[in-house]
Every structure is written in C-alpha cells, then in structure tokens.
Amino acid sequence: PKVFFANERTFLSWLNFAIVLGSLALGLLNFGDRTGRIAGAVFTVISMMVMVYALMLFQWRAERIRRREAGPYDDRVGPTVLVVVLIAAVVLNFYLKINSSF
C-alpha cells in the first residue's frame, strides 16, 4: 500500500502544478493585453498537457505496481520536457512583448 500512496501523492503534486499554471493562464487570458492573451492560451495548452501526462504516468505506474514488476518507476524525460516547454513559452512571451512595443 505504501507504494500506491506514493504514486498517488506524485500524481496530486503534478495536478497541483497544472492547476497553478492554469490559474496563471486564466489570469492572463482575462486581464492581459493581446500578448498576454496569446501567452495565456499557450500556458493553458501546456497546463492541459501536464494534466494528461500526469494521468498517463499515474496509470502506467499503478499498472506496474499492481503487477509487482521490478524496476525503476522514475521519470527522467517528463520534467525535462516540461522545463524546456515552459522556457519556450516564457521566451515567446518576452518576444511578443518586445515586438508589440515597436
């Protein structure tokens, strides 16, 4: 049972991050200018992708735990991809903001 709960805690942690990112996106969509709305849409898509990814990872781990498969359950690719995508979104936001001022 301990491993099942650890998997669930990890899933809830990913969802917590996705909700915070989605809240930021919602604020940008509602109160931002044109650039803010574009960035809000990008962050909304990223937030939804994080939610789907978290669910898929949770299901994959739960199935492996149920089958009592040995091996690492860690994820080395997901967090790296998330950081790269978030940095790209922030760079896009800065680029659009700088170009809109000229």
Helical H segments across the chain, by residue range: 2-31, 34-66, 78-100
Dihedral sign for Cα atoms in the order 33, 39, 43, 44: positive
Q: What are phi and psi of 76, to 5 degrees?
A: -95, -20
Provide the 10 A C-beta neighbour count for residue 66. 9
Q: What is the pLDDT of residue 59?
A: 96
Q: What is the pLDDT of residue 45?
A: 97
- List the structure tokens of 9: 């805690």
The model carries a pTM of 0.88
Rg (CA), the chain: 17
Q: How confident is the prediction along the chain (102 residues), in pLDDT tens digits per residue?
A: 788 999 999 999 999 999 999 999 999 999 989 899 999 999 999 999 999 999 999 999 999 999 998 878 888 899 999 999 999 999 999 999 898 877
Task: Name the nearest CA neighbour of 100 among 27, 40, 36, 26.
Answer: 36
Q: What is the pLDDT of residue 71?
A: 75
